[in-house]
């Protein structure tokens, strides 16, 4: 357990539209902690509950510098870290004390875990009838798969995302990062805000929100159920092409760089022909409208790809910009960090950090004109706010804290 709490920190000092909202986060890794991070970014006091000896697995997940996990620094930002053993009876009682003073509890354990710890929704609402409990799990709280272990990769596969992602002649392609987890975390924020509105504006009281990993990512894949139901069609992989419009693809320039082009609307497609110095193609029956362009995708791609492949990326960008055509470079993170637009909008900011001195992270999004969010700090050491939360928030005295620490509860 760490006790290195900053001496000038207090609870409830968040800046932003959610200032005053108290959230207890008992989840781990990415999904529920993403909900917590986004709420904390906009001023909510998010108390992160971690197991005393190990903490959140994100502390050791992925890239590490000086034994400090970068994922934790990101997903744990703006949160108060406390340690608490929820398997212990004493720890469960402490959580109930926290819940009694909170607005929201976040969790992403396997369904039934909180119930085994005698911390199910029925017991939680006994101590706080206005509590909003946001529960994220792999397959949801009910249904035949509810008790299965759930991870983002499984959701990305079973949601239909992987099936349509990739090239027709290659296997389905999974994303390189926790896409399903982050989307579920975003849906978690939406659910929490809906529930708070229902509680505080419509006098609706507390409730729990059931968010699965699989349904949010399924939700963003468009009208696939309608397409299958009404047309009997199954969407297939199409690589970087669109099955609905043309031109649309990624192209390699003569200097080995890549650009992405989208010309779905008719005026945009016509500007592409200007950019590649082929205005004659505007009247070509193969390319005269979107339906024709989709039918002759290979021929269209060959014309565009040959022209782009004969020019450097800079030449391509200048030509398309001059024609007001929609094409951009394919960026890696180094490109993003040096891009003037990202810099002008402060999309990446540098934050003081006790471990790294200073570190660059994504800024708070979206932007508010009157009550913006703010990054106060990155993820802190395990249990850094034990003293602050247990003394100031719950009013525990030194004797009680010492007993909880001696027994390993915190």
- Indicate which residues carry an active-site annotation: 181
CA–CA dist 67, 361 (Å, integer): 19
How many Cβ atoms sit within 10 Å of the Cβ of residue 262?
Answer: 18
**Beta pairing class for 68-69 and 258-262:** unpaired
CA distances from 73 to 3, 28, 77, 353 (A): 18, 13, 6, 9
Instruction: State the DSSP H helix or E strand holding residue 80, giving kind and residue range, or none if neither.
Output: strand 79-83
Instruction: Locate all alpha helices (DSSP H) within 171-256, ordered by sequence.
Output: 179-200, 214-219, 224-231
Residue 213, Cβ density class (10 Å: 0-12 exposed, 13-18 middle, ≥19 buried): buried
CA–CA dist 66, 149 (Å, integer): 32
Per the rule left: phi > 0, alpha: psi between -120 and 50, beta: everything else, 118 is left
How many Cβ atoms sit within 10 Å of the Cβ of residue 158?
Answer: 19
Closest to 95 measured CA to CA, from 344, 410, 358:
410
186 near 165, Cβ under 8 Å? no
CA–CA dist 74, 60 (Å, integer): 13
Contacts of 269 (CB under 8 A, 6+ apart): 246, 247, 263, 287, 290, 293
CA–CA dist 352, 344 (Å, integer): 20
**Beta pairing class for 45-50 and 79-83:** parallel
Task: Give the CA angle between residues 194, 200, 202 to the nearest 5°.
Answer: 80
Closest to 257 measured CA to CA, from 311, 323, 338, 318:
311
């Amino acid at each position: 357990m760490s006790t290195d709490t900053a001496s000038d920190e207090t609870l409830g000092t968040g800046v932003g539209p959610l200032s005053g909202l108290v959230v207890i986060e008992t989840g781990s890794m990415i999904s529920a902690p993403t909900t917590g991070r986004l709420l904390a970014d906009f001023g909510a006091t998010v108390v992160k509950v971690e197991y005393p000896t190990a903490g959140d697995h994100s502390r050791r997940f992925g890239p590490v510098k000086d034994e400090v996990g970068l994922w934790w620094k990101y997903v744990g930002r703006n949160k108060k870290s406390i340690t608490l053993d929820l398997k212990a009876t004493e720890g469960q009682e402490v959580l109930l004390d926290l819940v009694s003073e909170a607005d929201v509890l976040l969790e992403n354990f396997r369904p039934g875990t909180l119930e085994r710890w005698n911390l199910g929704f029925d017991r939680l609402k006994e101590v706080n009838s206005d509590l909003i409990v946001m529960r994220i799990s792999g397959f949801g709280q009910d249904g035949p798969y509810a008790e299965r272990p759930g991870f983002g990769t499984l959701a990305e596969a079973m949601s239909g995302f992987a099936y349509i992602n990739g090239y027709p002649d290659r296997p389905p392609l999974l994303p390189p990062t926790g896409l399903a987890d982050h989307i579920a975390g975003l849906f978690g924020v939406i659910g929490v805000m809906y529930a708070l509105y229902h509680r505080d504006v419509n006098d609706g009281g507390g409730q729990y929100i059931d968010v699965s990993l699989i349904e949010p990512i399924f939700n963003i894949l468009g009208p696939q159920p309608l397409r299958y139901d009404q047309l009997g069609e199954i969407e297939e992989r199409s690589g970087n092409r669109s099955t609905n419009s043309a031109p649309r693809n990624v192209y390699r320039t003569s200097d080995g760089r890549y650009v992405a082009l989208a010309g779905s609307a008719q005026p945009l497609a016509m500007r592409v022909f200007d950019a590649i110095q082929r205005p004659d193609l505007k009247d070509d029956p193969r390319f005269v409208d979107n339906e024709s362009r989709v039918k002759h995708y290979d021929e269209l791609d060959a014309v565009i790809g040959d022209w782009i492949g004969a020019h450097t990326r800079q030449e391509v960008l200048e030509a398309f910009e001059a024609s007001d055509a929609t094409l951009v470079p394919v960026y890696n993170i180094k490109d993003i960090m040096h891009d003037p637009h990202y810099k002008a909008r402060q999309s990446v900011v540098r934050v003081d950090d006790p471990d790294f001195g200073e570190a660059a992270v994504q800024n708070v999004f979206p932007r508010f004109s009157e009550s913006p969010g703010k990054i106060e700090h990155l993820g802190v050491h395990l249990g850094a706010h034990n003293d602050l939360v247990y003394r100031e928030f719950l009013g525990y005295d030194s004797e009680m804290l010492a007993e909880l620490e001696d027994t390993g509860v915190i």
